[in-house]
Structure 1
Amino acid sequence: MPDCPALFIGASASHQGKTTVTAALARHHTRCGLNVRVFKTGPDFLDPMILERACGAPVYSLHLSMVGLDACRALLAQAAREADLILIEGVMGLFDGTPSSADLAATFNVPVLAVIGAHGMAQTFGAIAFGLARYRDDVPFHGVLANRVASARHAQMLSETIPDGLRYCGHLSNADDIALPERHLGLTQPDEVAGLDARLERAADAIAQTTLAELPPPVHFDDATLPAPPRLLDGVHIAIARDAAFSFVYPANVDLLAAMGARISTFSPLANEPAPHDADALYLPGGYPELHASALASNERTRASIAAHVERKKMVVAECGGMLYLLDTLTDIEGTRHAMLGLLPGDAAMQRKLSRLAMQRIDTMHGAMTGHTFHYSTLQTPMQAVLHAAHATTGAEGEALYRHGSVSATYMHAYWPSNPAAAAALFRGESL
């Protein structure tokens, strides 16, 4: 029955600095020689990249619906057995969504550190802190951290607003130069942030000046494991596109493929690397193909290798950006139209407003598979859906799943451990 110090980093809303604070905590305790495991609440690819850089270990998702209660329990138990500290970054505001970050923190009794962006704020800071701490009795509360503080005097004013019985953990300053840059799908990818490690070091230095420099109290986690998945992909070679254009991959998805017996390799379309000739299936994940459309359009070795793979009727699984790459054309945000691989009929166009953001589930002959969708593009295609996902809570119609020859394509980012049999069917080209 493992116990481990743990902290849940929540906030009053999105864009308060949760990822910066979580990364700062991870880097501070890692450089103190501790084994730190970090998790991200909900469906996210970009925050975990930053957090992995901060702690040096893969960052897995926790979500009571998408990942499931039993899997969350097993992931936390494994981390508690191996780590000196567990950090869980929340999503949106603490009580936003169904299920919410607060639901996750309450389920596993992990105390919440509330991050509040204090710019343009004084006494109201205390009211927000009080509300977050007292809104639900079942959510354990560790304390509050002020972020983006303007001056020492501002910090003093904020600390004086905290009601008795609440812990003020300190502040991070605007002057620390630690905020992480963003773009349309969220944070910028780590390799594109100039001086990221120096920024993380500054953030860790700032955290070291707060009460959070010390470990939080231990949390008890029930011992739990999940049964090994069936080896439905024994002998199957799956090649995954991995680079700055195709980087939205859940570590748990890759783990599952390997646990089911698949041999995994990677290739980079951006580097014009060919897909392996001996691959039985390709996985083209989401990412930022729209930012690299010119290079992708002109990289003939990759283009020819994927076309040859499809011509040999070998399987391709394409999600979101991976699907856009296979279309006839992709029009970027500036209105420039780029020829893509032409292996799926249709045209996509980027837009400045969000097209869809929702938790999704898709019902297959193997049962339900969970996931999410988040994209800024629209698609025009003559393809007819073989299945439609549904909104996870409202049941409204969600993303289409297309089958075109040996290609399965959808905007939905599926969480494959939620249904290993359905995931294996995708890569074997079997009925769903």
Structure 2
Amino acid sequence: MSAAIFSSGLVIAGERSGVGKTTVTLALLAALAQQSSRVQSFKVGPDYIDPMFHRQATGRPCYNLDPILTSESYVQHCFAHRCHDAEFALVEGVMGLFDGATGLSDVASTAHIARLLNLPVLLVVDCGRLSRSVLAIVHGYRTLDPRVQIAGVVLNRVGSDRHLDLLKEALASIDLPILGVLRRQDAIALPDRHLGLVPTAELPHLPEILNRLAHLGHACFNWPALTPLLSIPPHPTLSTQNSKLKIFPLETLCVGIASPKDLQNAPTPPLPHPPHLPISPSPPLPTPRIAVAQDAAFSFYYPDNLDILAALGAELIFWSPLHDEQPPPEADGLYFGGGFPEMFAAELAANQGVRSALKALIHQGLPVYAECGGLMYLATTLVDLEGDPWPMVGALPTNVRMTGRLTLGYRHALATQSSLLLEAGQTLWGHEFHRSETETPPHVPLYQLKRYGAAQPHAAEGWWPHRIHASYLHLHWGGCPGVAQALLAVCRQHHQSRQEA
């Protein structure tokens, strides 16, 4: 693996989960955004909710950097591409700095991403219950992997001036800059629930919270030292030890979608053709319109996925199953992302006109792509967290029930049959993150699933009746652009059939 050299940008890492790296990240982003409209953020891993907060702080989409769902090269090119017009760049890590997809290595960890991008790391340390021991923690993180450059530390949850003096004295011997200090009373709590933070759409007071975070950012950090680390020169470049690479246009970011062999213990998936923008096609290809469900119930979308659809030629129409009176009548396909339909089951059920219209359109052959929350909405009934049943669309012959069990992790998926978007035998990587289950298993499932690092399948999952692709598996199409291409193809077919009718 060659080392990518980027002009600048900073990774925010925690010494473990729960130390306050999201608060630190948002404080920095909110403060930067008050002086620049070109603050580009990234999130390590498959998370959807933290990037929502980034976007609210900066006004720009936050992009996920995940070498398992995509590839190491995709991570590098994505960072370069998204930073090409940015003034500042910041990457929020995941869990502890060296915590990877398994306990056996740091693959897909914050440290892995920092090495791939050759970016410095700002380490956030929870000092709430320690003093001199901070030296052992920081020294250990600084020396464990010499390829990871820790540029400084943020001391969080500092109790008093005397406490701060003790921490500074302990760290003086290793000559590592303290670039931020947050006191215990500085804590700004973000509400959470069963799948993490409450999404931004449900927080009416979020602008006030971001203003407080910006004030915290201005007051608690060493900006003369941080600004050079965060700043992006006017024309960033990406290079490797042996070659120079351009900033790639969007449609070429999907080259090399399979994760390297050192990222998996499963067979390497085949490389599908990357998507390309058509150049003066003759005759011109029709522009399919894809209706994307976007509201408080459906909000889990990777920005890359939407960008890839648009780059391939789709027109995206955003609508709300919660509030609109009908689905967009001009739609040639439907895209339901994940989210929290269980929190809005009563409202979704009450919008009977939309549910009935969707069921009729689906039975008439309208193509549908649905992930996780989208699958739950297409089911016959959704039993919510209180045990109350609510009627849903009824396009899938199963009920969905919330449970107390969290299903979480990367999955290697094998397509068991040829379906709307997949060929039998096709393999890809996805991620599961849900606390619900279907009561009736699919008669012929879409996928056989293996956990990351496992040798044998552990589950069969996914539905494909009518022209539906519905699964709990979240996909990043930077890692499987063929799925996006196939979706565009079936939507174009539907568009043409409507024109000919």
Alpha-carbon separation, structure 1, partners of 2:295 and 2:157: 33
Q: Does 1:80 align with 2:131?
A: no
Which sits farther off after the overlay, 245-254 or 180-189?
A: 180-189
Q: Shift in Å at residue 395 of structure 1?
A: 4.6
TM-aligned CA distance change 1:231 to 1:170, over 3 Å: closer
Letter in 2 for 1:150: G
Q: Does 1:252 align with 2:252?
A: no
> Residue 287 of structure 2: which of 232, 235, 238 is its match?
235
TM-aligned CA distance change 1:109 to 1:276, over 3 Å: same
After superposition, give the CA deviation of every residue in 1:363-416 in whole Å (9 maximum; x if it has no partner). 454954332111111222242303224334335435622211121110001111
Which sits farther off after the overlay, 267-276 or 132-141?
A: 267-276
Contact in 2 for aligned 1:207/1:213 (Cα 8 Å): no
Q: Does 1:90 align with 2:93?
A: yes
Q: Does 1:394 align with 2:457?
A: no
**Aligned residue in 2 for 1:15:** 18
Kindly report which structure 2 residues correspond to 1:57-136, keeping only aligned pairs within 5 A, or say none.
57-97=60-100, 98-136=107-145
TM-score (norm 2): 0.80
Q: Shift in Å at residue 8 of structure 1?
A: 0.2
Letter in 1 for 2:203: V
Q: Shift in Å at residue 172 of structure 1?
A: 1.3
Name the SS for the 1:144 alignment partner: strand
TM-score (norm 1): 0.92
> Residue 228 of structure 2: which of 188, 207, 216 is its match?
216
After superposition, give the CA deviation of every residue in 1:32-87 in whole Å (9 maximum; x if it has no partner). 23621000011011000001111111001112222222222222212332111110
Letter in 2 for 1:381: T
Contact in 2 for aligned 1:3/1:80 (Cα 8 Å): no
Alpha-carbon separation, structure 2, partners of 1:123 and 1:305: 64
Alpha-carbon separation, structure 1, partners of 2:133 and 2:325: 54
> Residue 432 of structure 2: which of 360, 373, 384 is its match?
373
Name the SS for the 2:43 alignment partner: strand
Which sits farther off after the overlay, 389-398 or 196-205?
A: 389-398
Contact in 1 for aligned 2:84/2:247 (Cα 8 Å): no
**Aligned residue in 1 for 2:32:** 29
After superposition, give the CA deviation of every residue in 1:109-157 in whole Å (9 maximum; x if it has no partner). 1011111222223222222222211111111111111223333333333
Q: How many corresponding residue pairs?
A: 429
> Residue 338 of structure 2: which of 280, 286, 289 is its match?
286
Kindly report which structure 2 residues correspond to 1:117-156, keeping only aligned pairs within 5 A, or say none.
117-156=126-165
**Aligned residue in 1 for 2:418:** none
Name the SS for the 1:122 alignment partner: coil
Q: Shift in Å at residue 210 of structure 1?
A: 3.7
Contact in 2 for aligned 1:34/1:85 (Cα 8 Å): no
**Aligned residue in 1 for 2:272:** none
Q: Does 1:342 align with 2:394?
A: yes
- Cα RMSD (Å) of the superposition? 2.4
TM-aligned CA distance change 1:199 to 1:24, over 3 Å: same
Q: Shift in Å at residue 104 of structure 1?
A: 0.8
> Residue 190 of structure 2: which of 167, 180, 183 is its match?
180
Aligned identity (percent) is: 35
Unmatched 5+ stretches in structure 1? none
Q: Does 1:419 align with 2:480?
A: yes
**Aligned residue in 2 for 1:385:** 445
Q: Return the index of the structure with the highest Cα Rg.
A: 2
Alpha-carbon separation, structure 2, partners of 1:192 and 1:28: 23
Which sits farther off after the overlay, 63-72 or 106-115?
A: 63-72
Q: Shift in Å at residue 26 of structure 1?
A: 1.1
